Amino acid sequence: MLSPKLPKIFYGGDYNPEQWPEPVWREDVKLMREAGVNLVSVGIFSWARLQPNEKTYTFEWFDRVMDLLAENGILACVATATASTPAWMSKKYPDVLAVDAQGKTYYPGARQHYSPCSPTYRRLAAALVRRLAARYAKHPALAAWHINNEYGCHMSACHGEASTRAFRGWLRKKYRSLEALNEAWGTAFWSQHYYGWDEILTPRRAPYHPNPTQQLDFRRFMSDAFLELCVMERDILRAATPAVPITTNFMGFFEPLDYRRWARELDFTSWDSYPDPATGHAAEASAASGHDLTRSLKKDRPWVLMEQVTSQVNWRPVNVLKRPGVMRLWSLQAIARGADGVMFFQWRASLGGAEKFHGALVPHAGTKQSRVFREAKALGAEVRMLGPVIGSLVRSRAAIAMDWNAWWGVGLDSRPGRINYAATLAEFHRYFFERNIAVDFVHPGEDLGDYDLVVAPALYLLAAKDAANLERFVARGGVFLTTYFSGIVDENERIVPGGYPADLRRVLGLWVEEWSPCVEGETKRVRFAKEGRTVACSHWCDVLHLEGAKALATYAEDFFAGTPALTVNEFGRGAAYYAGTKFETEDLARVLDGVCERAKVAPVLRAPKNVEVTLREKDGGRFLFLLNHGVQPASVALGGFAGVDLLTGGRVRGTVKLEPLGVRVVAVDGGSARAGTGE
Ligand code: GLA
C-alpha cells in the first residue's frame, strides 16, 4: 500500500483553500465526504499565503485547513508549496528569476518563473519546506508529501548566471578535464575549443546550430538541476517524517526531464493525465501510454493518477468536454493499468485567475444540479469497492526500450530527417494497447530478465554497454526489434564509425550503408517475400547489407530495389528484427504480430475492437479489467477466467456483455486462469 495511513485507493484532488473564505472550507469537507474523497493535495500554490515576507510565516490558516480535514477523516497529500514563488521574493532577490536562451527574463505574474539554480530560491524553498515538515510531521491528516508541482512544465531551461555557473560545475564533475570535454563535444569543429571552464556557456541564442553535445549535456544538466531541487526537499521531508511517502507529479512523456532518474528518488510515482477527448480513441491510447510509463518507472508498486479533469481543461484552443461516463471510464482505466489512486485537478472550480474555466469536482453552479458532481460521487463509491486490488501489479512480458538521451539526441537539429521520438513510441505502444498485450517502458541498459520481447524504435543514441545488454538479451532467448536510425551515436552524441548501427550490427546481422529519407507525402513500395504482398512505406529507407540476417521484405523501387527493408537474425537462442523503413499502421501491426508470436507474447484476452483488457496480480489475487471505450455494447468471451465483478458483486463467467463505456472488474477465482492465455 502506498501510504500506511490510507489503505484505500486514493480518491480526491488538488485542494486550494486559499482561494476561498473559511465558511466555504466547511462546505468543502462536507461535500468531500459526500463524494467519497479520502485524500486531497493541499497547498500546492500556497507559498505567497504561507510566507508574506522573508521573515514571517503564516501557517495558522493552513493549520485550520489541516485540522478540518483530520476532523472529517480526510487525509492530506501535503504539498511543499514551492512551485510558484511570491512576488516579494523576486523583488528582493531578482536572481530568483529564470532567463531564457535569448537572455530574456521570466517575470512573476503567472507561475514557475524561478530558476532551478538560483541559490536564493534553493535557500528560501528549503527554509519553507523545513518549517512545513516540522509543523505537520505529526499531524493526523498527513498521509503523503507532494513535492513542488510538475517541475519544468512551463520553464524547463534557464540560461541565467546561476544556471551557467552550475552548468560549468556539472560539466567539471562529469568530464574532470577540459581535454575530455573538448574531445566529447567535438570542439575541433568550427573553432569551438575551450581553454578555460569559464568560457563555457549554456547553449544560448546562436547564429546557427549550437554544438550538439553541448545541447545534449545542457538537457541532462537541466533535468538534474530540477531533480536536485526535488531531492533537496525530499531529504528534508524524509528526515522529519521517515514513514511518510513522498512523490512529485510527473507529466508522462515530458521531454525535458529524465523521469527514469527521478523515479528512483521517490517513494511512489504519480502523473497528471490530460488526454484530449477531441482525439477519439487516440485519447485512451495516449492516456494508456502515460499510465504504462508511470508504472514502469517504479515497477514494484502501484502509482497514482495525481491529476486529471472531471469535464474539460482550459488550456487547449478548443476544450472538448468529457461526455457522461468518460470520467468514470478513464479513471478506472488508470486503475486497470496499475494505479492505486485517482485524483483530479481541482476540487472546487476557481472564480478568478487563469484556470477558472478548468473543470473541477465542484463546478461553479455548486453540486445540487451538477452532472459532474453526481458522476464524481458515484465514482467515489465505485473506487471504494475496488479496495481488493490495492497493491496488485500489472506484469508485462513485452517492453518498449526508450531513453530520454535518445529522445534528446534524435530531436537535435541537423539530422538526415526529422524523427518524432514521442510519436514513434506512441505508435509502437498503440499496437500493444490495441492488442491488449501488457507492455512496460524500459531502459535499454536495465535488467531485461522479466521480458520475452523488447522493441526499441528509433533508439538513436545508444551507449555500447546498453547495446551489449540488448545483445545478451537476444543471446539468452529474447526477441528484439529495432528500427532505422537506432544505435547511430554513443552517449556523447558521436558517430560510432565502421557501418551503422555499429554496436547492434552483430545481433542484427546486418549493416546500414546509407539512408534515404523521404519527403512529406512520398512513399516507396516494399515487397514481403513470404506473403507475396507489396505495401507502401514512407519516411525513411535504410540501404542495408545482410551479414547473417534474412530479408523478410525488400524494397520494390528506387536504386535500392531488391535490397532488404525488414530483416530477422537468429542470434544465440533468440532473434533480432530490424525495420529499415516506416510501415503503415496495419503493416507494422502485421510485422509485430509475427514478432509477438515468435516471442510467445500474447494478449490477456482476445477482445473486440475498443475493448481494453488488463490484468493486475498479487499474492492471492488476480483482477481482470474489461473497459469498453466504444459507443456500442460489446461482448467479451472470458475463456478460462471467471470470478466476481467487484463493481456489482455478481458472478461472471463465459461471455460478458459490456455497455457502451462500460467497465467490469473481475476478482478472478483462484485456479486455472493464467495471464496471457485466458485459460
Ligand atoms: C497541471 C497543473 C495544475 C493545473 C492543471 C490544469 O496539471 O499541475 O496546477 O494547472 O495542469 O490542467
The Cα 654–Cα 643 span in angstroms is 10
What mean pLDDT do residues 162-183 have?
98
Is the pLDDT at 37 greater than 80? The verdict is: yes
User: What letter would DSSP give residue 56?
Assistant: B
Exposure string over 45-64, b if 16+ CB within 10 A, otherwise e: bbbbbbbeeeeebebeebee
Active-site choice (18, 284, 307, 491):
307
Number of neighbouring beta carbons within 10 Å of residue 367: 19
Whose cell is 518563473? That residue is 113
Beta strands in 6-141 (DSSP E): 10-15, 39-42, 75-79
Is the pLDDT at 608 greater than 90? The verdict is: yes
Task: Assign domain 611-668 to a CATH class.
Answer: mainly beta
Contact between 486 and 454 under an 8 Å Cβ cutoff? The reply is no
Nearest 5°: phi and psi at 645?
-75, 115
Is the pLDDT at 338 greater than 70? The verdict is: yes
Active site residue 150: yes
Active-site choice (150, 233, 382, 493):
150
Is the pLDDT at 673 greater than 70? The verdict is: no
What mean pLDDT do residues 257-264 have?
98
In this structure, the strands spanning 398-401 and 453-456 are parallel
DSSP string covering 562-586, please?
Answer: TSEEEEEEEETTEEEEEE-EEEPHH
The Cα 334–Cα 289 span in angstroms is 10
CATH of domain 398-599: 3.40.50.880
Is the pLDDT at 679 greater than 80? The verdict is: no
- pLDDT, one tens digit per residue, over 429-439 is 999 999 999 99
For ligand 1, atom 3, the nearest C-alpha belongs to 345
The Cα 513–Cα 31 span in angstroms is 66
Selection from 604, 560, 602 nearest residue 581 by Cα: 560
And the C-alpha cell for 676? 496471457
Is the pLDDT at 632 greater than 80? The verdict is: yes
CA distances from 232 to 125, 126, 224 (A): 9, 7, 12
- pLDDT, one tens digit per residue, over 637-654 is 999 999 999 999 999 999
Peptide bond into 192 cis (omega under 30): no
CATH of domain 10-155+220-386: 3.20.20.80
Query: What is the per-residue pLDDT for 677?
Result: 37
Using only C-alpha atoms, the chain has a radius of gyration, in whole angstroms, of 26
In this structure, the strands spanning 643-645 and 634-637 are unpaired
Which residues line the pocket of ligand 1, CB cutoff 6 A? Answer: 149-150, 272, 274, 307, 313, 345, 355, 358
- pLDDT, one tens digit per residue, over 433-457 is 999 999 999 999 999 999 999 999 9
Distance 307 CA to ligand 1 centre (A): 7
Spell out the domain ranges in the chain: 10-155+220-386, 398-599, 611-668
Query: What is the per-residue pLDDT for 620?
Result: 84
Q: Over pLDDT 90: what percentage of the chain? A: 97
Is the pLDDT at 672 greater than 60? The verdict is: no
For ligand 1, atom 12, the nearest C-alpha belongs to 313
- pLDDT, one tens digit per residue, over 375-392 is 999 999 999 999 999 999
Average pLDDT, the chain: 97
- pLDDT, one tens digit per residue, over 559-590 is 999 999 999 999 999 999 999 999 999 999 99
- pLDDT, one tens digit per residue, over 520-540 is 999 999 999 899 999 999 999
What's the pLDDT band for 368 if we cut at 50, 70, 90? confident
User: What letter would DSSP give residue 109?
Assistant: S
And the C-alpha cell for 82? 514551492
Query: What is the per-residue pLDDT for 674?
Result: 44
Distance 245 CA to ligand 1 centre (A): 22
Fold match flag (10-155+220-386 vs 398-599): no
Task: Using the atom order of ligand 1, give the atom closest to the CA of residue 315.
Answer: 12
Contact between 610 and 635 under an 8 Å Cβ cutoff? The reply is no
Q: Which amino acid is at 410?
A: V
What's the pLDDT band for 102 if we cut at 50, 70, 90? very high
Mutate to test the pocket of ligand 1, among 146, 149, 272, 308 (most ligand atoms within 8 A of CB): 272
